[in-house]
Amino acid sequence: MNDPRRCVALAEAKRSDPVVQLLLRLFRGFHGRLGLRLWNDETLTLGAQHADEPAPPFTLVLRNPAVVRTMLLGRNPLRLAEAHFRGDIDIEGGFFAALDLKNHLHAIRLSLRDRLHTALTAFRLRATRHDPVVAAATRAQPPAKSSLHGRIVKAHSRPENRAAIQFHYDVSNDFYALWLDKAMVYSCAYFESESTSLEQAQQAKLDYICRKLQLQPGDRLLDIGCGWGALILHAARHYGVNAYGITLSRPQLAVVQERIAEAGLTNRVKVELRDYRDLEGINAYEKIASVGMFEHVGLKNLPVYFATAHRLLVPGGLFLNHGITHDVEGWEKTLYTEFINRYVFPDGQLDTMSNIQRGMERVGFEIADVEGLRAHYALTLRHWVARLEQHHDAALRHVSEATWRVWRLYMAACALDFESGETGVYQILASKRTAGPIQLPLTRRHLYPTSADTI
């Protein structure tokens, strides 16, 4: 009989190397199959090992014995992530399947005897040189930024938020252009079906927002955190609005200014480097959009953020807030939050959908419509990961290998989080309260035009 447990036991008996014995023990309970290739090219197959089983969906490559010590002592997934960024750990094959190891390693419970044996063996391990090919390739890449770690954000002050935006967005416009769509929309797309292309889905999202906001020729539209300008340009071209966008990223600003000039829209579209807290005026805009920006605000600053949007809107004006939410209240320190704040968004903080909506109501907004789009974001992220992998060599002309790995891991992990429901994304359409009925159609029919009506 080909009992998986018996196969693993036989594999252990054949290998007297204590390091191999430890690895077999470590992965014995893994739910699935994986290949494991060591620094000496020895390869193990762990999990169900029937002769008729297909090859493992991925192979975990350990470049030196020191990595085993990292895996065994503490089993902190962030330490493993660091080892992957350095090139000490590689993943060949299905990257998404390999991310299941996070839960496995975190859940391992060893007996006292096993823990003592593990510690003694792990401490005897000596680090060897990195694989020369990988090490040389990593050294050859230009660094994208001085550190993979962003500065800790404590108060979400203007300087802190500006530095955090620069850490994430000022990597390289050319790097982002490799895996985003042509309009460079860096937020959840809107898919008609799973076969919809990323380009089509992002254009559909831009138009969907414009229809939700009921944009009309001559409307004054504010885009808080306009990115590379896709929404303000789309709204001006197709809906005849006068658009104003703000960003904290100078590289983004340069791209938007160039695109505005190329489109011949300098008389109707403007963009500035500005913090939302520095926006002046009262009743200055008929419509306001914020797409993928409020995650940077900080939970304690959300009242100021929403109050600013409320002050800037005319009575009865519409505000669309598109942003990511969490499945638990607040932003307590967890593996997920620590990873995001350390490597990706130093100022990122999320809260539950109900808390966000309550915060909007407290400053005087009337909620008109709420739509969850987490399935769409999971699809978007899988498109981004695939494109990033396809353009690996081109990406290394703009960022380091380590930075490329950070982005791939972050986006793949986020895709799985959206699929599991741990994170969500919502579009909340709200109106600045005024006497009388809200200025919206009686039905949602306008959101779903026929093919003849689409732009």
Beta strand spans in 31-120 (E): 34-37, 43-46, 58-62, 89-93
CB 57 within 8 A of CB 80: no
CB 292 within 8 A of CB 320: no
Residues 6+ apart with CB under 8 A from 106: 75, 77, 335
Q: Say how far apart CA 431 and CA 282 lie, in whole Å.
A: 15
Written as six digits, the tokens of 404 are: 């490329």
Q: Say how far apart CA 321 and CA 425 lie, in whole Å.
A: 10
Give the 3-state secondary structure of residue 373.
coil
Q: Say how far apart CA 255 and CA 383 lie, in whole Å.
A: 23
440, amino acid identity? L
CB 58 within 8 A of CB 35: yes
Q: Say how far apart CA 159 and CA 330 lie, in whole Å.
A: 23
Q: Say how far apart CA 382 and CA 414 lie, in whole Å.
A: 9
Catalytic residue, candidates 188, 210, 226, 414? 414
Q: DSSP alpha helices (H): ranges in 281-425?
A: 302-312, 335-339, 353-362, 374-390, 392-395, 401-420
Strand pairing category for 58-62 and 34-37: parallel
Q: Say how far apart CA 51 and CA 227 lie, in whole Å.
A: 52
Q: Say how far apart CA 144 and CA 168 lie, in whole Å.
A: 10
Residue 414 appears among annotated catalytic residues: yes
Kindly report the CA angle at 175 between 132 and 67, in degrees rounded to 5? Answer: 30
CB 94 within 8 A of CB 58: yes
Rg (CA), the chain: 25
Consecutive H or E run containing 273: strand 269-273
Which residue, chain included where needed, has tokens 């050294």? 139
How is 338-350 classified by DSSP, letter by letter? HHIIIII-TT---
The residues carrying an active-site annotation are 414
